[in-house]
Amino acid sequence: MRDSGTDKGLRIGIASIFLVLAFLAIISGLFYHQVILYNKYIVESENNRIRIQPIIPKRGVIYDRNNKVIADNRLSFTVSIIPFEKQKGVTIRRLMDLLDMDSTTIVKRAAANFISNHIPSPIKRGLDIDVISILEEQGEKYPGITYSIESVRRYQSDIAAETFIGYVGEVSPEEIKAFPGREYRPGSLIGKKGIEKTYDHYLRGMEGTEYIEISAKGKIIGPYRGKEKIPAVPGDDISLTIDIDLQRVIVDNFHSLDTQFCCGAIVAIDPRNGEILGLASFPQLDPNIFSGPIPPDIWQGIISDSTHPLLNRPLAGIYPPGSTTKLVTAGAALELGKITDKLLLKPCLGAMKFGNRIFHCWDLGGHGRLDLYHAIEQSCDVYFYQIGLLIGIDPWYDYVTDCGFGKKTGIDIPGEVPGIAPNSDYLDELYGVKKWTHFLMLNLAIGQGEFTVTPLQLTQLFCGFANKGMIYRPHLLRERLRYDGSIVKIAPAPSFRLPFSEKTLEILNESLKLVVQGEHGTARGRKNKAYNISGKTGTAQNPHGENHSWFVAFAPSEDPRIVVTALVENGGHGSDVAAPLVGKIIDYYLKKNVPELFTKEEVPDEG
């Protein structure tokens, strides 16, 4: 019996020890979780009942030079997931029905938030009030789901604005890493192209933050009083150099061409300061289609379109300039002392033989014997074949690059390409060392062959002729209207001078005037009684179809206010299609801005 009692006491002792140890474990656990991990759980608890909601600032409005709206904002609703608050098997399934989306897309967009599980990940933008009403009334059925009011960009749709204004879209992870100081988060909108991209840091403003208290079931209780709301800072408004009325005239007149001419570019610049008055690429795109997710069928139609509507032709379309750059060849020959303005070369009989090849003039009947003025007036190819051979490829190249070709203009929107200005090194690489002949110089002298330019570069060249050799950097930003009411004006920035003396510029400008005002000028159809126009036609060979039609002009010749370039792909002779287009654009602009050139009866109503 004593043994039995001993065993019982032993058992009780062992049980007591286990009880004590268990009690100590509980006490230790409570101490660890309530004291050691106190701060951690406090944070998690706060995060569980306090929702951090970004306040999206108003994106700045974009105006034209006359304070007419080009881009503003409309209100829209965005539904987001807060990853930390969503419930497995519930949130995404219910959201699929609410937003009519597949689960894969929802999961992918929710996972895009790689910064914090407590920050909303936008799932769908551009929603109407019906969806938001459901969330308001039945919020507890959608755990982890929130919504916000955001601004959606609204653009003028009839002025080819996408050419210069671009569009906005959701920021990518690469862009977040590239701009660490701008506080982008997954789902933030960022300028993707054009003005929206270049000046995004001005336009976007700065997000604010508000703290919202929610119940355990996810229902919004109201603002959280424990943290102060941080208001958003609205973006700056900006004013562009663009004249929206002129832009509309540009678009309307291009669309009035024969329907076969659907591709081209028009650039208009004030040569006195480099301000871009008009910039249009055709076919044009409505930038509003990029304001939200693009339906797959629409996107597929855009990228498969044989006219390449995504190509920004003024900046990134490269073409042989044709006769428009004969002025550079002429200026180089004058500066190098190879010719004088009165020199008469071998007569043009409609063609010229060089080696065993025949090089034709555009006028197969020939122009006879001409001096430089009349060779430019009538755009005689044979005359320029001869002076091209007198110059040589590398000296010609030096003047071409000094005139801004083969390099970017520095316009303040992305996407510009430099074009090609070939020299002997380029030709050696293209054809092999010494495996090309100097007949290539004949083509280069008249703006053909391997020489390619953008419409913007060509306009820049003629700004130099219009402005006594000085070229200002082409730009679109005119002034910034800061949210605090102050105004920051953008001063013109000198870019470079043409490599021609005052005397050479006088000769070239007199020749350009003859192109329109002269009896045999190739653009004499643009002559009018109110003012003089100076310009140059161009017909560029196109291996894929009809020749491209060029015309570049400035007016009034004596005091130029505007330079306009028109390129019409497959348009044929420059005098037939591009020149009338430029004439109408210049006429509208001068009637609007320099009415004293016209009689009272000729001035149009402002409406």
According to the 3-state scheme, what is the secondary structure of 86-133? CCCCCHHHHHHHHHCCCHHHHHHHHHCCCCCCCCCEEEEEEECHHHHH
Does 402 share its domain with 483?
A: yes
Count of structural domains, the chain? 2
Does 344 share its domain with 231?
A: no
Q: Which domain holds residue 185?
A: 52-137+146-211+223-240
CATH value at residue 448: 3.40.710.10
Closest CA to 384 of 446, 431, 457, 435: 446
Does 533 share its domain with 593?
A: yes
Please check whether residue 8 lies inside any domain of the structure: no
Does 355 share its domain with 455?
A: yes
Please check whether residue 22 lies inside any domain of the structure: no
pLDDT in tens, 194-245: 999 999 999 999 888 888 777 665 566 667 777 788 888 999 999 999 999 9
Closest CA to 165 of 264, 312, 295, 318: 312
Kindly report whether the peptide bond that precedes residue 556 is cis, defined as omega within 30 degrees of 0.
Answer: yes
Q: Is 285 helix (H, G, I), strand (E, B) or coil?
A: coil
Please check whether residue 123 lies inside any domain of the structure: yes
pTM, two decimals, is: 0.84
Q: Which residues of the chain have pLDDT under 70?
A: 1-8, 15, 22, 28-49, 51, 84-87, 89, 112-118, 215-222, 293, 600-607
Does 482 share its domain with 560?
A: yes
Does 229 share its domain with 282?
A: no
Does 326 share its domain with 407?
A: yes
Please check whether residue 26 lies inside any domain of the structure: no
Residue 1 has what pLDDT?
Answer: 45
Does 273 share its domain with 166?
A: no
Does 172 share its domain with 235?
A: yes
Please check whether residue 272 lies inside any domain of the structure: yes
Does 286 share its domain with 181?
A: no
pLDDT in tens, 348-405: 999 999 988 999 999 999 999 999 999 999 999 999 999 999 999 999 999 999 999 9
Closest CA to 477 of 150, 28, 65: 65
What whole-number distance in Å separates Cα of residue 66 and Cα of residue 245? Answer: 9
Looking at the DSSP assignment, which residues form a beta bridge with residue 75?
151
Does 227 share its domain with 279?
A: no
Please check whether residue 24 lies inside any domain of the structure: no
| Residue 168: partners with Cβ closer than 8 Å, 6 or more residues away | 59, 153, 189, 190, 191, 192, 196, 200, 290, 291
CATH value at residue 71: 3.90.1310.10
Does 274 share its domain with 160?
A: no
Please check whether residue 353 lies inside any domain of the structure: yes
Please check whether residue 386 lies inside any domain of the structure: yes
